Amino acid sequence: MAEDSRTLVQKSGLWLALGALLIIVLLPQPEGLPVAGQRMLGLLVFSVILWMTEAVSYPVSAAVILSAMTLLLGFSPSVADPNVPYGMNAALVTGLKGLSNGAWAMVAAALFLAVGMQTTGFDRRLALKIMSLVGTKSSRLLLGVIGVGFTLSFFVPSTTARVACIVPIVGGIIASLGINRQGKLAGLLMIACAQVDSIWNVGIKTAAAQNMIAVNFIRQTLGVEISWLDWLAAAAPFAILMSVILYFVLLKLMPPEIDQIPGGDAIIKKELEELGPMKGAEFKLMIISICLLLFWVLEGKTWGMFGIGGAMGAQKIHPFSTAVSTILAVTIMLIPSVGIMNWKDAQKRINWGTIILFGIGISLGSAIISTKAGVWLAKYIVSVFGLAASTPFTILAILALFLIVIHMGFASATALASAMIPIIISVLTEVSKVKGGGVNILGMTMILQYVVSFGFILPVNAPQNMIAYGTETFTVRDFVRTGIPLTIIAYAGILLMAATYWKWLGYV
């Protein structure tokens, strides 16, 4: 980023972050908080300021955080034995821990899956096919965009990659149908591209990187693995409800200037015909994607779910986790003659900065937990805000509102999850201890993770929003005008489902 193009906030962000880090590190050591834990809390605040102000790019922030973590921990006493130094090698291993994590591998592999979609053109064929089925009436075009976003959420486990697939396709349809790019219909369709993907980040475990962060921390701290199907059963009803609401909110607040596109059906049919019959690479990708989806669906399930009893009924259908099955699928896609793309072409399209940031974010969260910073902070929050005297529903309402507000300052749900989910788990664990139980830590963490995906209000709240905004088919005001009602309704939906459906499931 050129120096002249940076805002005052961006220019001062690094100094603000360093100042906050220095203040926290130099404060008297609180009782019960190890030196390493105090320094990790300082690093957490440092990281949040960096991410919120965008003082440096996200990939650079990952390098800065890794270096700071190594130095801060390396010169700290060990948490287990304060008489023994933590050491630089151990600190570096802690900083790199996230890069040897199944969730990190899953996200990296997901980006390759997205490249496979773009390389073969299967994403374009799928989008045009759905559009041809719904028709070219304005309201049906919106329905088609929502349908495309929903469908790709199952097969492309990266929000940014999905929107990067959809936006050019929708842009091409807008151009082909002669729709005014500055009109409300074009803006409505592009806003829908971003918002429907944010909604289905909630509904599908593998749809977004931030979900994998939450799943990883839940596994690490609670020892529980959330299967793909269990997540879908809990979250999909909310995502379906919000998809319907998105349709009506957009039509109400951005009514299209035209109702019917003359000759639209013929134009889309022509574009489909120009693609020709499915190519071999597309067919291979379709088979790989369907098989991978089946592996995700059956993750952790036993033969007993099909009514097969006996010893076999208790056996798992397959032993592969989401990450392992995804990596295997990508490996097949890259094998010469068998696969659909080669490494040289694929690696050029991969956002390696996102991969590095994701890994370092996991490392930061893990360090907050391992240095007991999370536990100490959780006790402080529970005491100051009196959460021990609150009901689980009230606690959920407060924490969900907090996440919605703080997300306003974040440009990445991945960064938000990395910073907040370890703290959320620690707070819920502490409340459960103080109350003597009665709090479903797993269920409430899952629900609060859904809220992490609520980047509905500002274009800068999520990379997918910025991709859509970059088409210049709508203004920031348009996005905010539709995003605020969506956020309010989504928050109300969280509370409604917490009081009904999720309560029946035992999550609240």
Q: What is the pLDDT of residue 1?
A: 44
Assess whether pLDDT exceeds 90 at residue 275: no
The b-or-e profile of 315-336 (16+ CB within 10 A means b, else e) is: eebeebbbbbbbbbbbebbeee
- Residue with the two structure tokens 């951005």: 254
Domain ranges of the chain: 1-100
The model carries a pTM of 0.82
How many Cβ atoms sit within 10 Å of the Cβ of residue 483? 25
Please give the share of the chain, as a percent, with pLDDT higher than 70.
97
Where is pLDDT greater, at 258 or 86?
86
- Read off the pLDDT of each residue in 311-315 and give the average, rounded to a whole number: 68
- Residue with the two structure tokens 């899952």: 446
pLDDT category, 261, cuts 50, 70, 90?
Answer: confident
Q: What is the pLDDT of residue 77?
A: 94
Q: What is the pLDDT of residue 2?
A: 46
Per the CB < 8 A criterion, the answer to whether 101 and 362 are in contact is yes
d(CA 137, CA 447): 36
d(CA 238, CA 93): 39
394: left (phi over 0), alpha (psi -120 to 50) or beta: alpha
Q: What is the pLDDT of residue 242?
A: 97
Where is pLDDT greater, at 171 or 429?
429
Assess whether pLDDT exceeds 50 at residue 370: yes
User: How far is residue 239 from each of residues 135, 195, 212, measured CA to CA in Å?
Assistant: 24, 11, 18
pLDDT category, 309, cuts 50, 70, 90?
Answer: low
Per the CB < 8 A criterion, the answer to whether 79 and 372 are in contact is yes
Per the CB < 8 A criterion, the answer to whether 421 and 452 are in contact is yes
- What integer best gives the mean pLDDT of the chain? 88
Assess whether pLDDT exceeds 80 at residue 409: no
Q: What is the pLDDT of residue 246?
A: 97
Q: What is the pLDDT of residue 313?
A: 63
d(CA 91, CA 415): 21
d(CA 268, CA 179): 13
Crossing angle of helices 209-222/441-452, nearest 10°? 160
